[in-house]
């Protein structure tokens, strides 16, 4: 583009816009001209993301900064404001919530806000969601009796409100406390929010002892209860280190186009708080790029920067990020990826919690009815299904080098897991590793009941039609006219092979003996590409079930293959339908691999005695208790084995032959 030649060779931020003038990407650069020029080189050498940007970009704007750290800060600010689709970004275009302590007020309160202002107040956060900030506020309110009302405090109120009687406020409105006592409560609240709960506990305990010495037992009892509550909350917090530290810990968990960052905020020797953040636009970004972008956006508006950042992965542009954080902290900041010791253990715990947070996010998404409705409608449209896929079944094979091969079947109804209808299979007819044959066996076992019932229904329908035809033919024959005075009789009898009309009458529907195996899915998803799909279509053709929709989901590029269509279907990357089929596929994989591990573990601990006919758990225990090991049994005589409780000579001979 001709605009590239006019860019300065200075640090700064560049903004790419498309033909509709929408911001599609925001980046930073040490040298703006050189960095932007790299997008428009040979298309063969460009990554897919860079190639897509070069094709869509129609206009490039730039902002020059003095330093690379300033460029990083500005990039984070603009990404949060514009939320470009190709940038790694924190989810939701909104300000994250904070706790605000308005210390400039004569009688401060603790409130929730989404805007940090230069008003002299103390701010704590940001928190990932309104739920997490409300939980923190609830805990703080229970521990420290500051006022939650908005009335003007004069000290002349005739009586306090209910908060005073449940020990949630010390009632400055009625002058039940002094200004100094109220300020002490606010100071303790701030210390607790900073993570310095040990200091708070020491101060409250000291006040309790002084009140007791002054014979102010009512105040001493209240402080005792407060100290106990603080102690209980502190005990529930995770121990982080035997040595005090001031650190924020961040760990990544990724799956497809979604990333969760789990944060531990360590103050002193405990994790004072924890939160999780969901990111978008991470599919083609490296772990370092994702974490670097997140940290820049997180600390761009954070009210506090700690001395240490402990990370699961090294972020891109770590030096620029460190400079930015030093400027905000006005002091030294260390960014580290610990490899051993207590700090590494803390990061590992954060990684585990990040994976759990991502799983919980998926569960919440599945429970969102609006999203699942949109996903099912889009799935019906994109796959050209005859009906909305109310019941979806997904199948996966799990094996290691052809051993302990198993399969899973998971069922989603209206986009929600129906775990009571999950099934698992041991592969019985396939030797070695053959996913195609294994899938054919599983689908054959699953759908043969449906095929049988359909065949019986067709036969019953044919019998009914034959019976109705025979009845119509009988009625069509005219009776002979008998002479007057004699009774009329029928001269034509039914054909010898015609069914008896009365006996041939059939019920209108089959008996009600339905089971989960009778349910016909609206969509069958196979974990795999064209090969697996072809194997399943062969099964459906053999069972005469061509009307059951089947598709294969190939994991590498999330391509969907369907019958009679050579090119794969690519669902939009940001569509709810793609998210749903990924969740279903991942659930089938999880269910299959869990069963495979169970069988593998069981086989690894299986004794040779378990393979001998007639030897159950009790007889096995009796043999091992008497002879100590399989070797001892092997060296014993038939008579010695036969004398074991529960054994006969014949069974003893079987044991000796088997060993």
- The answer to whether position 509 is within a domain reads no
Question: Do 444 and 568 fall within a single domain?
Answer: yes
Residue 31 pLDDT greater than 60, yes or no: yes
Residue at a domain's end among 355, 384, 406: 355
Average pLDDT estimate for 611-637: 84
What's residue 506's pLDDT?
Answer: 29
* 233 domain-assigned: no
484 has pLDDT over 80: no
Q: Are residues 559 and 639 in the same domain?
A: no
- pLDDT for 516 equals 64
| Same domain? 350 vs 373 | no
Provide the pLDDT confidence category of residue 549 given band limits of 50, 70 and 90: very high
CATH number of domain containing 456: 3.30.420.340
CATH of the domain at 22: 3.40.1440.10
| pLDDT tens for each residue of 163-213 | 888 878 888 999 988 888 899 889 888 888 777 777 777 888 888 888 888
What's the pLDDT at 321? Answer: 87
Is residue 489's pLDDT more than 60? no
Q: 623: domain range?
A: 608-658
- Element (DSSP H or E) covering residue 137: helix 130-143
pLDDT of the residue at 488:
37
Chain segment 496-523, per-residue pLDDT in tens = 333 333 333 323 333 345 566 788 999 9
Q: Which of 87, 119, 148 is the last residue of a domain?
A: 87
For every residue of 349-389, DSSP letters joined together read HHHHHHHHHHHHHHHHHHH-HHHHHHHHHHHHHHHT-SS--
Judgement on whether residues 445 and 550 belong to the same structural domain of the protein: yes
Dihedral sign computed on CA atoms, order 234, 236, 242, 245: negative
Q: Is residue 133 part of a domain?
A: yes
Please indicate, yes or no, whether residues 425 and 528 belong to a single structural domain of this protein: yes
Query: Which SS3 state, helix, strand or coil, does residue 346 take?
Result: helix
- The 10s digit of each residue's pLDDT in 111-143 is 888 777 778 888 887 675 666 678 778 877 777
- pLDDT > 90 in the chain, percent: 5
pLDDT tens by residue, 532-544: 888 899 999 999 9
Are 143 and 281 found together in one domain? no
Question: Do 351 and 425 lie in a common domain?
Answer: no
Whether 103 and 168 share a structural domain:
yes
Joined together, the tokens standing for residue 296 give: 């820049």
Give yes or no for a cis peptide into 587 (omega within 30° of 0).
no
Q: Closest Cα partner for 396 from 592, 255, 584?
A: 592
Write out pLDDT tens, residues 140-162.
777 788 888 888 888 888 888 88
* CATH code for the domain of 340: 3.30.420
CATH of the domain at 637: 1.10.150.20
User: Cα(29)–Cα(70) distance, rounded to whole angstroms?
Assistant: 11
What is the three-state SS of 27-52? EEECCHHHHHHHHHCCHHHCCHHHHH
Confidence of residue 485 (pLDDT cuts 50, 70, 90): very low
For the chain, the domain total comes to 5
Edge-first strand listing for the sheet containing 59-64: 23-29, 12-17, 59-64
**Residue 140 placed within a domain:** yes
Instruction: Compute the CA torsion angle 379, 382, 383, 384 (nearest 10 deg).
Output: 110
Structural domain contains residue 63: yes
pLDDT of residue 173: 92
In this structure, are 61 and 109 located in the same domain?
A: no
CB 406 within 8 A of CB 592: yes
Angle (CA) 348-352-357 rounded to 5° is: 140
Determine the pLDDT at residue 121: 86
Strand partners, 271: 266
**Residue 624 banded pLDDT, cuts 50, 70, 90:** confident
Residues 547 and 446 in one domain: yes
Bridge partner residues of 263 (DSSP): 250, 275
Instruction: Examine the pLDDT at 416 and tell me if it is beyond 80.
Output: yes
The reported pLDDT for the residue numbered 365 is: 64
Q: Is residue 564 part of a domain?
A: yes
In this prediction, residue 337 carries a pLDDT of: 92
- Considering the entire predicted model, what is its pTM? 0.46
Residue 526 forms part of a structural domain = yes
Residue 306: band (very low, low, confident or very high) from pLDDT cuts 50, 70, 90: confident
Q: Collect contacts of 153-159 with beta carbons under 8 A, ≥24 apart.
A: 153/106, 153/107
Alpha carbons 74 and 29: distance in angstroms, whole number: 11
The sign of the dihedral angle between the CA atoms of 379, 380, 381, 385 is positive
> Is 336's pLDDT higher than 60?
yes
Where among 295, 326, 355 does a domain terminate? Answer: 355
Q: Is the dihedral of CA 304, 306, 309, 315 positive or negative?
A: positive
Domain-located, residue 478:
no
C-alpha to C-alpha distance for 638 and 322, rounded to whole angstroms: 77
φ, ψ of residue 11 to 5 degrees: the values are: -70, 150
3-class DSSP state of 592 = helix
| Cα(181)–Cα(183) distance, integer angstroms | 5
Residue 297 and residue 433 in one domain: no
Identify whether the C-beta of residue 290 lies closer than 8 Å to the C-beta of residue 259: yes
Q: Please provide the DSSP assignment of 56-125 as one string.
A: H--EEEEEE-SSHHHHHHHHHHHHHHH--TTS-EESSSSPPPEEEE-TTSSS--EEEES---SSS-EEE-
105 plus 71 within the same structural domain:
no
Q: Which residues contact 568 (CB under 8 A, 6 or more apart)?
A: 554, 557, 559, 560, 561
pLDDT at 463: 86
User: 523 in the Ramachandran plot: left (φ > 0), alpha (ψ -120 to 50) or beta?
Assistant: beta
């Amino acid at each position: 583009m001709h605009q590239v030649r006019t860019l300065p060779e200075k640090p700064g931020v560049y903004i790419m816009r498309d033909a509709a003038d929408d911001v599609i990407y925001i980046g930073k650069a040490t040298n703006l001209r050189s960095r932007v020029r790299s997008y428009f080189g040979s298309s063969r050498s460009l990554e897919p993301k860079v190639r897509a940007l070069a094709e869509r970009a129609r206009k490039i704007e730039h902002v020059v900064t003095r330093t690379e750290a300033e460029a990083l800060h500005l990039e984070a600010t603009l990404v949060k404001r514009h939320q470009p689709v190709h940038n790694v970004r924190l989810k939701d275009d909104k300000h994250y919530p904070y706790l605000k302590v308005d210390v400039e007020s004569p009688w401060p309160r603790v409130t929730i806000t989404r805007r940090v202002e230069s008003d002299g107040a103390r701010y704590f956060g940001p928190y990932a969601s309104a739920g997490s900030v409300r939980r923190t506020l609830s805990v703080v309110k229970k521990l420290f009796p500051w006022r939650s009302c908005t009335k003007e405090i004069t000290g002349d109120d005739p009586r306090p409100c209910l908060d005073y009687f449940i020990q949630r406020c010390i009632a400055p409105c009625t002058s039940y406390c002094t200004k100094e006592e109220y300020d002490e409560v606010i100071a303790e609240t701030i210390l607790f929010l900073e993570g310095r709960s040990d200091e708070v506990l020491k101060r409250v305990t000291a006040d309790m002892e002084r009140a007791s010495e002054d014979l102010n037992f009512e105040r001493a009892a209240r402080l005792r209860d407060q100290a106990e509550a603080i102690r209980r909350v502190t005990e529930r917090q995770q121990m982080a280190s035997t040595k005090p530290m001031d650190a924020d810990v961040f760990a990544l968990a990724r799956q497809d186009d979604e990333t969760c960052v789990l944060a531990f905020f360590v103050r002193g020797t405990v994790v004072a708080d924890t939160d999780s953040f969901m990111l978008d636009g991470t599919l083609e970004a490296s772990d370092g790029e994702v974490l670097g972008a997140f940290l820049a956006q997180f600390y761009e508006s954070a009210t506090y920067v700690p001395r240490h950042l402990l990370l699961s992965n090294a972020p891109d542009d770590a030096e620029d990020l460190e400079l930015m954080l030093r400027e905000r902290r006005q002091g030294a900041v260390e960014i580290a990826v610990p490899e051993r010791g207590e700090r590494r253990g803390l990061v590992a715990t954060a990684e585990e919690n990040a994976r759990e947070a991502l799983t919980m996010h998926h569960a919440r998404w599945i429970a969102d009815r609006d999203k699942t409705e949109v996903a099912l409608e889009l799935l019906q449209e994109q796959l050209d299904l005859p009906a909305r896929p109310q019941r979806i079944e997904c199948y996966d094979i799990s094996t290691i080098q052809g051993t302990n091969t198993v399969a899973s079947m998971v069922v989603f109804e209206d986009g929600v897991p129906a775990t009571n209808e999950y099934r698992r299979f041991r592969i019985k007819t396939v030797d070695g590793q053959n996913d195609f044959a294994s899938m054919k066996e599983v689908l054959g076992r699953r759908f043969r009941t449906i095929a049988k019932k359909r065949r019986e229904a067709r036969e019953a329908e044919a019998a009914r039609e034959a019976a109705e035809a025979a009845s119509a033919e009988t009625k069509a024959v005219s009776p002979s006219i008998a002479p007057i005075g004699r009774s009329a009789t029928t001269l034509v009898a039914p054909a010898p092979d015609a069914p008896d009309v009365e006996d041939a009458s059939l019920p209108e529907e089959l008996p009600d003996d339905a089971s989960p195996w009778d349910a016909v899915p609206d969509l069958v998803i196979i974990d795999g590409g064209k090969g697996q799909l072809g194997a399943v279509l062969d099964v459906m053709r053999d069972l005469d079930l061509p009307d059951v929709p089947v598709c294969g989901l190939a994991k590498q590029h999330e391509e969907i293959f369907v019958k009679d269509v050579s090119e794969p279907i690519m669902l939009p990357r940001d569509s709810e339908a793609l998210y749903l089929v990924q969740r279903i596929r991942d659930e089938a994989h999880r269910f299959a691999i869990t069963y495979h591990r169970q069988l593998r573990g069981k086989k690894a601990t299986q004794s040779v005695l378990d393979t001998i006919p007639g030897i159950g758990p009790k007889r096995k225990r009796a043999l091992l208790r008497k002879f100590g090991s399989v070797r001892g049994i092997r060296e014993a005589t038939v008579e010695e084995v036969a004398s074991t409780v529960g054994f006969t000579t014949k069974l003893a001979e079987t044991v000796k032959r088997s060993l």
